[in-house]
Structure 1
Amino acid sequence: WNEIIELFRAGMPLRKHRCRFKSYERCFKASEAVDCLHELLGSTKTLAQKFPPSSPLKSYPKKSSCGKEVIKFPDWNETKAGSSQEHIPVKSVATNSEMWYKRHSIAIGEVPACKLVFRRELTQTNVEEIWKSMTLSRLQKVLGLDSLNEVLDTKLVNSKHIVQNVYNVNKQGIVTLEDKSRPSCSDMKQPTYSGFEKDVFKTIADYFGQMKEPLLTFHFFDIFVSVLGLLQKPSKAVEALQISCLLLPPENRKRLQLLVRMMARISLNQDLPPLSESVRTRTLMVQVFSRCILCSKDEIDLDELLAAKLVSFLMDNYQEILSVPSALKSSIEDHVVHLQRVQIKHAGADSAAALPPPSFCHQITTGEFEYQRATGSQEPLAALLEEIVMNKEISVKDKKKKLKQKSYPEVYRVRFPSPETEAMLFPEKTKQKPPILMWALRKPFQPFHRTRSFR
């Protein structure tokens, strides 16, 4: 066959042809290819002369006068007299027989029956939950904990924050906030007076010092403190801090990136004048900004030591820690693509086996289930009612329309148990009587007199 292909490519004439109002150079038609191949096969003298023992073709006993043999299909059911063991007649195998299945399985192997499984389309909420689940699983594995419940409340982790911290970043890797316009400082002239650096440093320190909550937030205090036990293994500590910083709100993550980068650059800048006469620049940075980055709700002296230790490690490895972990990102993206891809499921396989198991779920009691079923629909309504009540931009008239007192009387009664509480929100306006005109009192009342109509 390879020789036929070579001879066909070498002997096929190529010329110019026209097709559909276009001309093509060095090509051929299908009919010309059939004629050329037919002529090539006819010129082969040894065609159909060598038959293997199990060939479906055999030579006709009568030789033609032109010197070419005539080929016919043999009858496999025909039995010859005196046939020996060497020439056993071949039986025809039906496609639905057991022998055909046996030969088929020997030729290509046992292939079980299979079917296509079309995955449902994942919504943005599904993708965000996958990011949250796999991120927390990876963090738990890096920390070497059996459960994250001791150091982290997973309900407080917002999946939208993780996705935004991963994808909404600029070229420098800093988080970009939505609907936040950054002021342009290109036209501002930089002052050059003596002591300018100290004034800027004091302004930045005052800005971060007046925050009510640290950048790493009170909710994630325990998870960041648990990372301090991995500082002896820098690679593990860097990966744990990478994942932990993804859980932060985007605003806090951006401020943390800018602050730590500024602290590291100031500490390494030898041309900058000293900001303090008694303390080194690096020590000053840690002392001033450690409580702005990490602290607990309870004022404990031990927190300052833990925060200083963590901030020092952040300054040394801020480029790796505050970047997006590429390994985690690629693994989650591959998992999402795998869930969206059409898969082949073999017969007998469990269709639900390939689905990812639910993460961070625990069984609840019957009483909790009944309570959630009874109050689950009322809590969002109560939150919506409270939001309408506290909204100062809505007028009193519009508030009364949106409260829907008749639609949900139970929720309304819980929020306003008495008329006094309702009166505090909706005070009744006193109707002012119109002033009496003095000229109306001076003139006596004149009765109406019917007048005649003149036609």
Structure 2
Amino acid sequence: MESHVITPGPYRATKLWNEVTKLFRAGMPLKKHRQHFKVYSNCFTATSAVDWLHELLRNNSNFGPEVTRHQTVQLLKKFLKNHVIEDVKGRWGFEDLEDSSQLYRFPSTSPLKPIPVGPQGVRKRSVSLKDREGFFKLRGSKKFDHEIQENISPAVEDSTTDTHSEENSRDITEEDIQDIWKNVTLTHLQKLLGLPSLDDVLNPTQIDSCFIVYNMTKVNKHGVVTLDDKTDDLPHWVLSAMKCLANWPKFDSNQPSYPGFERDVFKTVSDYFYSLPQPLLTFQYYELFVNVLGLLQPALERLAVEALQLCTLLLPPASRRKLQLLLRMMSRMSQNVDMPRLHDVIGTRTLMVQTFSRCVLRCEEEVDLDELLATRLLSFLMDHHQEILQVPVYLRNAVEDHIAYLRSQTRHSGIGSGVAMPTYSFCRQISTQEFEEQKLSVSQAAIADLLESILKDKAMSVKEKKKKLKLFQKEYPDIYFRRFPTTESEVKLFADKPKIKPPLLISIKKTKAFSIRN
């Protein structure tokens, strides 16, 4: 039942499907059941499977506590369709599974999904940062909010000397500036995700640098994108309905008011977003956002926020604006105690997430875990939308410093001409082995910080702390051993707990017993 983390990389959704399949097959209790006067061994009821799988998903960091029982039933139907399970008579491939006492079992072989490969049977090797020359890092007084003080420059494919000679011989054009925005954004995003290349999770050639510049510069005082072309904006009637729900019960007095009015308004908004031709995060960036989900761990939450800041800058301005306004409405509605119930059973927050998850994220070709992944991402977006959708100042500073440096190089032909030291300096190219070692050290440091947070948590009971440490030792034995190299060092951690005083009768000096016959 422990949480397994699938690290960012290509085909993460497929890897997650295989991971859930393996956990379900390995952990689901199998029993002997009687049905229609016949006994079946090593099987389980649909209800038992829903109970067990629902608990697994809620406690798994890849999916989280927002997973509902209904979503779990839908996943079991997909398990039946893909022959992860079958009924006790060996039938599968249909989706009539219900939350009932119907019996199911596991087939003799586990149908894990193959990881897609290229046409030659191997993945095409992408040109990564560690293979490129001429990337630079920031050396200045400004610090990034998350204390990562480096930014990588655009890659230089040709000879470094030739490129700089050509760059110094001409002025910086508007096209150059847009390329700088794009490359600084992507290379910093690559570092946050810890990937050797972004080519495996998106197509950089399809990214429009104009969108990044527009989303960074054309915003109102609330940080919401303003559109020059109003035909791409939300229709007036949708915007009016969203304002009505966000500001409930302070709405326009000219609007009608009757029992159930708020439910009709909510349906109007949801119908509009369902009618859009593609989700707000666009089909193009599905794989990218699924990879950001790999950062949604307690110790990496800050990195996840910053990665989503950059990812949402890539969106078309109209999509980013719709996403901003939708998240603002959802957040206000879920926190509004005066908001009437919009559903007879489901709470407002859960209803928000379930209703709009597929309007925000889904794959163009249906993926089996789409709904669960979209729910996980939308919950995080809703909780952190103000920070995620604000303009990242550090990115603007990095781009402006880079442009200033290139212009200073254009004006001056050599370093020895009295020019002040540039803000950016070229760093040496590192080997593949060094790159992998640095990537490993960063991830291990984050995991080590997670261990320390468990140890220092004073609100956690000793029993719960021991349980978490046992799971941590199982998942990361090397890091655990470095923290507790000996048994004594581990025992010492709990040595300060107060000792229980011995019973009073034991400490009292024994006195002569009295006999009832005396």
TM-score scaled to structure 2, two decimals?
A: 0.43
- Say which one has the larger Rg: 1
Question: Per residue, is there more helix in 1 or in 2?
Answer: 2
User: Which structure is richer in relative contact order (CA contacts within 8 A, separation 6 or more)?
Assistant: 2
TM-score scaled to structure 1, two decimals?
A: 0.49
